[in-house]
Amino acid sequence: MSVLLAAATASLAVDVVSKRLVTTHLTEGRLYGRAPGWGLRRVRSHGGGLGRVSVSLAIALWIVAAGCVLLLMSSTPLGVVAAAGLGIAIGGATGNVAERLARGTVVDFIAAGRWPVFNLADAAMVVGLLVAGASVL
């Protein structure tokens, strides 16, 4: 349980700090990068594109997290890698949900070609779930 909480806290902290740096130092809409469409671009997600997916995934993660906490309390604990992956995903979900509830939007800033612009919380949710899932297979 301590690995899960530490990973969630670290993931949430990285998300909060990255969004604060982006909103402080990057101009809205401007692409900071060398290749067309690739780099950093500060945008506000109002729920379109990956925004809806992120909110849905965040809500799903909260449900999964509640189930995992019950699982951890009642039976064999998760392995360290699974707990770390799940914690990273929960931290990302927490960051996006908290920002969406507080501001009604989420700051996205990673531009990767044709993909919609996303943030580190989105990446943490996906990578964390992949790590957790792969470790229990």
Q: Residue 101 — pLDDT band, cuts 50, 70, 90?
A: confident
d(CA 24, CA 80): 36
**pLDDT 10s digits, 8-22:** 999 999 999 999 999
What is the phi-psi region of residue 32: left when phi exceeds 0, alpha when psi lies from -120 to 50, beta otherwise? beta
Residue-wise pLDDT tens digits, 73-83:
656 667 889 88
Using CA atoms, how far apart are residues 70 and 56, in angstroms rounded to an integer?
21
Confidence of residue 125 (pLDDT cuts 50, 70, 90): confident
Count of structural domains within the chain: 1
Q: Is the pTM here over 0.85, yes or no?
A: no
DSSP letter at 104? S
Could you list the active site residues? 108, 122
Range of the structural domain that residue 111 is part of: 2-136
